[in-house]
Amino acid sequence: MSLSFYSSSVDETKELGRKLGRILKPLDIISLAGNLGAGKTAFAEGVARGAGFKGDVMSPSFGLVRLYRTRKLNLYHMDLFRVSENETGEIGLEDCFGDPKGAVMIEWARAARIYLASDRLEISFEYKKEGRQITLRARGPRGRRLVDFLKS
Ligand SMILES: Nc1ncnc2c1ncn2[C@@H]1O[C@H](COP(=O)(O)OP(=O)(O)OP(=O)(O)O)[C@@H](O)[C@H]1O
Ligand SMILES: [Mg+2]
């Protein structure tokens, strides 16, 4: 099941993320795919806001993982752009994916594919005209719950 939106501004992208963040639950996984500058981190900021996180949200490029702690969630934001698959064992990803209060959003997820549950939400960001095309694809029932909510 998939759902597609056109976003004409960074604020629209964040707003879509915020909607999703409001209903995000522990163990949800969102992978964010798209070229450099396509809007993955902007969307992730919206998700963190929607989940109730008030602090700084930024690309975790150097730290690789950031934790946004809210009342209901430990929201992990990963960016594995610089990481290859044989290095992921050193980052402690299994602690994030294994956190019962944890939800994960991940940019450049390829290196972490052995950790990704098959049930997740995949979101792709593509440059289109002056804005971005954002496409959500549910992989399993958890992903579907999130897509269904954004549809309504
Ligand atoms: N409709 C839009 N949605 C999101 N970002 C937009 C949009 N239009 C313009 N932008 C701009 O595109 C950039 C998106 O940057 P962002 O850091 O979110 O990309 P990214 O996909 O995380 O890149 P990276 O792969 O480097 O991490 C911002 O500078 C933002 O202002
Ligand atoms: Mg980014």
Any atom of ligand 1 within 6 Å of the Cβ of 7: yes
Assigned CATH class of 2-151? alpha beta
Q: Give the per-residue pLDDT at 90.
A: 85
Residues 30-44 pLDDT 10s: 999 999 999 999 999
Which ligand has the minimum distance to the alpha carbon of residue 129? 1
Q: 3-class secondary structure for the chain?
A: CEEEEEECCHHHHHHHHHHHHHHCCCCCEEEEEECCCCCHHHHHHHHHHHCCCCCCCCCCCCCCEEEEECCCCEEEEEECCCCCHHHHHHCCHHHHHCCCCEEEEEECHHHHCCCCCCCEEEEEEEEECCEEEEEEEEECHHHHHHHHHHHC
Question: Atom 10 in ligand 1: which residue has the minimum CA distance?
Answer: 10
Any atom of ligand 1 within 6 Å of the Cβ of 33: no
- 119 CA to centre of ligand 2 in angstroms: 23
- 55 CA to centre of ligand 1 in angstroms: 19
**Res. 61: pLDDT tops 80:** no
**Ligand 1 closest atom vs CA 130:** 8
Average pLDDT of the segment spanning 102-126: 94
- 122/61: higher pLDDT: 122
**Res. 62: pLDDT tops 80:** no
**Res. 97: pLDDT tops 90:** yes
Any atom of ligand 1 within 6 Å of the Cβ of 9: yes
pTM: 0.97
Any atom of ligand 1 within 6 Å of the Cβ of 135: no
**Res. 1: pLDDT tops 90:** no
